[in-house]
Chain A
């Protein structure tokens, strides 16, 4: 307490010293056996000492510099030889009821937050809150909810319904792990978007690869009485989506109208990444035959259609399913919600056709297998991987080195090194929750391309609040320790 920037409470006279040789009467003297404590409050920049659990009184305006902005070191001074001190920093419970003290401050901070004045702009406040909710719903594609909300609150939504629904569909595809389909849909509905966003495309394709690895378990399960586990272990549909693509074209040929013809999509796709590849199939969900045999692009269409026709003929149900599915995809009108299940069913059936390997139909086996254990699927997946690699190299040439891409690729490929990718060190990639950032990125890109805000205000507000708290912590403003964004989220 005598030295500058030091603060002390002396046991011989009970005086408090703040960077001065002259002390002020503060509390009682203390001696052997007493438990002396010190509490520094970084919120209001005060400190107080305690004796045997009793607070001796807060001291304000004690510190020359704010303790939040400089380092303070606890110190104990001893005078007599042989003196012993026991220091407690919380490893033992404190004698002073510090928990209660914290409760008080937590309550104060939360009260400040709760009671923060809005001021005169009450009317505006209401409208703003509504906008927050509405924009959030729209952003995430909750079309019907957003519409209902708009109706009830008598507000309007800026974006067109069809647009919202399109985005919703794409988001759902990504979240279901059907990235290939999502890519295809994106190219269909928002041509050029992915071309202008090579990083985004790369991320999507990496994700697609991971989903391929995720395998065919659910595909297997769809045959058991049990309902498919979830949408997560979705069969590597992209690789098998020639059904899709072909179905697309199939429908096309039957004259169903589609805003963007899959042909067109296909062609774009091929132009973009696959012109270099000797191997036929674009990795996208659009045209690619499952067989590794190289097929000329121009032929692939017809080939595919042929195939599809072949296949569709083998199973009426399948066709009808696929038809239904197509309808669902191309006639977005509220059917979408239901269609997702149907899509799944339909695709399952597709995969079934492909499988020659009965063994993979065993659903009693608890262990998931790469690509569902389907040989053809695995081959397709590996091929896709190669394509992905080459894409990466191409991007490297065009745009320079990208460590992020490299890591993504490395992580994705690492999955192949383990017999049980789900439980390997990089296995968390396979967690469906990893689809969310990809989905969000794609969604934002779509919005941006439509000149719509790519982040809803609610997310911005949350982000700002979180960042604010982080900043406060760095700078040493104590109140942030009692405020958490999570407290206000459900």
Chain B
């Protein structure tokens, strides 16, 4: 019987193309357990992260029985654990590849419960690790599966045991096993983090349950500082899932100062960790996060600015997004720091980024920076020229509606500034552009443009009369009249 290590999609396709599938499938019903097991292992490797193979496997049959059914039979509780686990892996791969629906009973009522059972205390270390990892993979993208897993057999509590291993009540009777397990205990922790991350990815109630599990935050903090990189990454993932909860950000996260170890993780971390960690940081920096202040003190701005220069798109997005969050309703000092850290060159670089997400977030940053009058004036006084240049660039360039809208909003903010106004009023080119957008076909853009005008002519402010006159001269008033008869109620009101 064969026994070969298949690694990677290349080998998978190679074997696949040789029509090996049907032959191996027949071995699944061999009378010899060893043969059945080898065939099963082979399928598990073949199907892993390979949609093409998975889709084919779903239709293969042996003696009139489809492969998924054969695998399901191998999940039965009186089969050896090895067989149950490997069969579960096969079905998981096929499900993730889309070959089996996530609401299929063979997944929901067979595979999932089987994997949950693998996490039980009575199982061997490697069984628990593999069970948790496979389950994490299975439910990663489906909220319904996450919900079902979270209520099955008290999984969330069961996983907490992974951090207590080996405990005094472990059923270890020989030294060799004890020695082995001590060496590999970190595998348990990383598997638990992974599964928690999957469980808490989407549902607020589940997140709550996870965080309320004994010592969870402490464990995560510890995990972020562990020597094993695997554990660190898994802990970050777990933290990331949990950070999607507004409530947790305000409470547990603050209580436990997770930002410190997180910031440490971000230093010199490989990209894989950086992406998730920066994403987490993003969440932590949201306005209502009490963590914001301390984070800034630990050099977050420099870090984030450097991220925006990364070749990795995800990192760029996360970096600029985090800066944007940071700037929201922030103090003047922070805003200045950001601008200083970012430098105008970088800003322009970002504004001409090929990815629209980066662009949008940069614009968002600008918008956040340019809020509250004193800030606007201050910033425009120092960076006004560059900013106006940037705005002009965008409005002239080819961009989608959202981008232009954002830009116009920035203009509107500028128009709100006391001294900043002048930068617009003295810029005929910009004024013409605003006028143009007031008559644009897209209502959003019209609205945004009118915001600008509205701010410019605001009666309560000094010099408003002059501005109004100028605008009237430009013919703005006529357009306004026209718009007041428009069918769109928003425009009308405006």
Contact = CB atoms under 8 A, between A and B. Distances in A.
Interface stretch (B149-157, B220-228, B272-280, B414-422): B149-157
Contacts of A100: 76-77
Contacts of A28: 151
A252 interface: no
Interface residues of B, number: 12
Nearest to B109: A53
B109 A103 contact: no
A56 B154 contact: yes
B113 interface: yes
Contact of B151 (A27, A101, A106): A27
B154 A101 contact: no
Interface string A51-77: 101111110000000000000000000
Contacts of B78: 103-104, 106-107
B77 A54 contact: no
A56 B152 contact: yes
Contacts of A27: 151
- With most chain B CB atoms within 10 A of its CB, the pick from A97, A101, A106 is A97
A139 to B, nearest CB: 37
B152 A54 contact: yes
A107 B77 contact: yes
Contacts of A51: 151
A58 B152 CA distance: 10
A56 B77 contact: no
B469 to A, nearest CB: 67
Contact of B110 (A97, A101, A107): A97
A214 B110 CA distance: 58
Nearest to A110: B78
B148 interface: yes
A57 B109 CA distance: 15
A424 to B, nearest CB: 47
Nearest to B155: A57
Nearest to A100: B77
A47 to B, nearest CB: 14
A97 B154 CA distance: 18
A192 B111 CA distance: 72
B121 to A, nearest CB: 12
Given A97-B109, A97-B113, A56 B151 contact: yes
Interface string B78-98: 100000000000000000000
B77 A55 contact: no
Contacts of A103: 76-78
Interface residues on A, range: 10 to 19
A101 B113 CA distance: 11
Given A54-B113, A54-B148, A101 B77 contact: yes
B77 to A, nearest CB: 4
Contacts, number: 36
A55 B150 CA distance: 11
Interface in A197-251: none
A51 B108 CA distance: 12
- With most chain B CB atoms within 10 A of its CB, the pick from A54, A104, A106, A107 is A54
Contacts of B113: 54-55, 97
Interface in A20-67: 27-28, 51, 53-58
- With most chain A CB atoms within 10 A of its CB, the pick from B77, B108, B109, B113 is B77
Interface in B127-160: 148, 151-154
Contacts of A106: 78
Contacts of A107: 77-78
B105 to A, nearest CB: 8
Contacts of B151: 27-28, 51, 54, 56
Interface string A78-101: 000000000000000001010011
A58 to B, nearest CB: 8
B342 to A, nearest CB: 47
Nearest to B158: A57
Contacts of A104: 77-78
Nearest to B150: A28
Contacts of A97: 109-110, 113
A56 B157 CA distance: 12
Interface string A173-202: 000000000000000000000000000000
A55 B76 contact: no
Contacts of A56: 151-154
A148 B78 CA distance: 40
Contacts of A53: 108-109
A103 B76 CA distance: 8
Nearest to B154: A57
Interface in A95-133: 95, 97, 100-101, 103-104, 106-107
A55 to B, nearest CB: 6
Contacts of A58: 153
- With most chain B CB atoms within 10 A of its CB, the pick from A57, A95, A101, A107 is A57
A56 B155 CA distance: 9
A98 B174 CA distance: 34
A54 B114 CA distance: 11
Contacts of B76: 100, 103
B110 A55 contact: no
Contacts of A101: 77
B109 A55 contact: no
Nearest to A57: B154
A103 B153 CA distance: 18
Contacts of B110: 97
Nearest to A111: B78
B399 to A, nearest CB: 47
A33 to B, nearest CB: 15
Given A28-B151, A56-B152, A100-B76, 11 more contacts: A53-B108, A54-B148, A54-B152, A55-B152, A56-B153, A95-B109, A97-B113, A100-B77, A104-B77, A104-B78, A107-B78
Interface of A: 27-28, 51, 53-58, 95, 97, 100-101, 103-104, 106-107
Closest 6 CB pairs of A and B: A104-B77, A107-B78, A57-B154, A103-B78, A57-B153, A54-B152
Interface of B: 76-78, 108-110, 113, 148, 151-154
25 contacts: A27-B151, A28-B151, A51-B151, A53-B108, A53-B109, A54-B109, A54-B113, A54-B151, A55-B152, A55-B153, A56-B151, A56-B152, A56-B153, A56-B154, A57-B152, A58-B153, A95-B109, A97-B109, A97-B113, A100-B76, A100-B77, A103-B78, A104-B78, A106-B78, A107-B77
